[in-house]
Amino acid sequence: MPTISRRGFLSHAIAGVAATPRSTAAQAARTRLILLGTGGGPRPRKGSSAPAQVIVSNNVAYVIDCGDGVARQMAFAGIPLDTLRHIFITHQHSDHNADYGNLIWLAWTAGLSTRVDAWGPPPLEKMTRLFFEMNAYDINTRISNEGRVPIAPLVHAHEIGKDGAVMSDDNLKVSAALVDHPPVVPAFAFRFDARDRSIVISGDTAPSDNLVRLARGADVLVHSVMFPAAIDRLVGRVPKATALKESILAHQTSAADAGRIAQAAGVKTLVLSHFVPADDPQITDQMWIEAAQSRFRGTVILGRDLLEI
């Protein structure tokens, strides 16, 4: 059964490039997926950044979720911040949106001067407007002092509330499906269909039939995962959250169920990400992989920050 750890994946990928050389143009056209942050939950950790991904197609960056540190993770990934064009927020939880405004604001200081469209559940429009209002002092200072273009007119926030087509351009067609992440409503998964591959990002969800439909036949499914046996230890480390265990168990998917979802959808590759818990040394890489493989016959990749897939 194919398993690819990070190290194994890199050597595999390098070998693949060496064995099948492609033209520079073909490589440039390839749609890239980079995991920017793979730890679930908003609590800052040493070992992994908060949830975020970037898809790069023809040097255009599409960022999915904006957990803490997303702008810096873009820098680590070598993705120029001024190529930011679209942002998709799966749901309004702080591990997915804490740096939504910061990503745009900091990208602007790195030279972003072109349109950005942001897509996500309400109250995205209000969040966008208030973010620029909150930071008006710095923004106005840089406009007058550094000659920056005004930032607010660049950003167009679009609230989405239902399944279906979100946007499309020359590179990608994006569609959304409602997933099951109580009490956060709506919460979405997104599918990105490019010319060369299809990529689905689950967001946070309990096992979801709607996600199975969205992901049908996709090349890559990035699915959030939890390890139920470790939740008691996780909850024990987090003070002042008396209902956290029930909440996690009700609105997340186990790695085994993520495998079942991937199998039902018929995807080629399942990428485990948004690990809950993200930092429990008793849960080894192999345990995550074996849980997913127990229900899935395709390729399982253990997600890691800055891993390109």
Residue 244: CB minimum distance to Zn ion, A: 12
Q: Which of 93, 191, 197, 223 binds Zn ion (CB under 5 A)?
A: 93
Is residue 274 near Zn ion by the rule CB under 5 A?
no
Of the pair 97, 299, the CB lying nearest Zn ion is at 97
Q: Which of 65, 204, 257, 305 binds Zn ion (CB under 5 A)?
A: 204
Residue 168: CB minimum distance to Zn ion, A: 27
Q: Which stretch binds Zn ion (CB under 5 A): 154-162, 189-197, 202-210, 222-230?
A: 202-210
Of the pair 121, 298, the CB lying nearest Zn ion is at 121
Number of other residues whose CB lies within 10 A of the CB of residue 194: 21
Residue 91: CB minimum distance to Zn ion, A: 6
Q: Which stretch binds Zn ion (CB under 5 A): 30-38, 160-168, 199-207, 239-247?
A: 199-207
Q: Which stretch binds Zn ion (CB under 5 A): 18-26, 91-99, 188-196, 239-247?
A: 91-99
Q: Which stretch binds Zn ion (CB under 5 A): 3-11, 62-70, 196-204, 262-270?
A: 196-204
Residues contributing to the site for Zn ion (CB under 5 A): 93, 204
